[in-house]
Structure 1
Amino acid sequence: MPFFPGATGQVHYRHWNLRGAHAAVVFAHGMGQHTGHYHRFAAGLASDGIAMWGLDLAGHGLSEGIPGRAGDVADHARDLSTLVELAEEEGLPLVLMGHSLGAASALTLLRSAADRFTGAVLCGTPRTATIPATADVLDRSGLPVLVVHGADDRLAPIDPVRAWAATVRGLRILEYPDAGHDLLHEPGHRAVTHDVADFVHRVAGSRHE
């Protein structure tokens, strides 16, 4: 199993390789999850010609760290940056994606590295200080951003995300009715996966029949 030295120990990652991929998603999961929970999502992207890379955040899955703790998003962002370096070796357009804690980590990385990506997807974005602090950076970069969020999300209520999204140029928000926080594991997961894949192809210039 592949590992790399991370900010707080060894970090486990997965690469869902795909011959002839048109683009790739670099993915960070949420609190209490790990990459093993996302085989279905990766398979859905693969069916649309998109490869995926994902890491187990420190303290999650097979990565070293303190289990049961969210950890430091700055450390997670540094580990995510290392994963991006591995993905960049394939020479594919990269879209950064994170869910919940992973979205906060992705936003932290984007504050210093937006130019490494053709787009970003934020899922179940939490209400943290990272969000408003990143709005100006994203607005200046012009990076295309897709926000996918459950209208009934109780862990990360949608109203603050709507307000933040309105301040970022080039950001599109898609709301899913009757959906909660964990969009990629809810009944409407296929629609979310389809919307993410469509966004990836659009920003990567790789739309295909």
Structure 2
Amino acid sequence: MTVTSAGPGTVPRTPDAVPVVASWREPAGVSPRGTVVVVPGRGEHAGVYERFGRRISADGYRVWAVADPTVDADRTEGQVRALLPAEPGPVVLVGSDSGALFAAGLVASGLPHVAGLVLAGLPASAGAAPGSWDDELAARTACPTHLARLGDDPAVRRGALADAIPPSWFAAADPAAVGVPVLGVHGAADTVSPLDGARGWYAGVATVELVTVVGGRHDALNDATHRAAAASVVLFLERLRLGPDLPAIVRVETPGAAR
């Protein structure tokens, strides 16, 4: 993992040890198949997506993760805009929680150089705000490895899921204005952003597929089913390489089922 520190202008809420920008490169000798830029959610930082970044980069995609936009939205937008024209395409924004809403708002507002969106745990409607840190961990993930990562990481802002997302972000993320293909990944048991509300938002997008994770919680990319979530993302990326209409690559059949 390559890390770039915060540098001048870092806000006091972000400890110096937090990787504001992190990257995971495609394997040596492999031409990059595209670029993924991850926008973290409330309380997270770029390094939280190390496991996801390593898995996606192993399949030949260059992965970057930027800073939590709820700390400094201008900084995060600047990081995204600096990366997009310089990296090999197709370029896809991957957002989680408030990062998903922020990424959708950027694209809906006309951000260039983006070929697709992956939105995990999109906060399209208000759910239950966790009352304690233990409640927040339980709402985030059922993965014991990720629970330990969050619990042991002093740079993760505890209680962040109870923070209100700026109303302007909801207004900016107009689904009808999103002109690129979208993959939604959403936990069926997400209490922070209930699935029905997310379904309503995705229904307004022109080209969209929604992957529902059975029993999944809010941090869909870092839940107990993180392997299946990553596989869904890779399949979306591979299809996007073939065209914006997402041509099918594989089809699942059940021989004899119709007899």
TM-score (norm 2): 0.65
Please state if 1:187 is matched with 2:187.
no
Please state if 1:125 is matched with 2:125.
no
User: Structure 1 residue 3: deviation in Å?
Assistant: 4.3
For these two proteins, the number of residue pairs brought into alignment is 191
Question: For residues 190 and 6 of structure 1, what CA distance do their matches in structure 2 show?
Answer: 37
Q: Which residue of 1 aligns with 2:66?
A: 55
Q: Which residue of 1 aligns with 2:50?
A: 39
Question: For residues 197 and 7 of structure 1, what CA distance do their matches in structure 2 show?
Answer: 35
After superposition, residues 50-199 of structure 1 pair within 5 angstroms as 50-57=61-68, 70-71=70-71, 75-76=72-73, 79-127=76-124, 130-131=169-170, 133-138=173-178, 141=179, 143-199=180-236
Q: Which residue of 2 aligns with 1:65?
A: none
Percent identity over the alignment?
29
CA contact (8 A) 2:23 2:53 kept: no
CA contact (8 A) 1:53 1:87 kept: no
1 or 2, which has the higher strand percentage?
1
CA contact (8 A) 2:176 2:206 kept: no
User: Structure 1 residue 114: deviation in Å?
Assistant: 4.5
Name stretches of at least 5 consecutive residues in structure 1 with no aligned partner. 59-69
- Counterpart of 2:20 in structure 1: which amino acid? H
Structure possessing the higher radius of gyration over alpha carbons = 2
Please state if 1:15 is matched with 2:12.
no
User: Structure 1 residue 34: deviation in Å?
Assistant: 1.3
TM-score (norm 1): 0.80
Question: For residues 16 and 122 of structure 1, what CA distance do their matches in structure 2 show?
Answer: 20
Name stretches of at least 5 consecutive residues in structure 2 with no aligned partner. 126-166, 250-259
**Secondary structure of the equivalent of 2:53?**
helix
User: Structure 1 residue 81: deviation in Å?
Assistant: 4.3
- Counterpart of 1:118 in structure 2: which amino acid? A
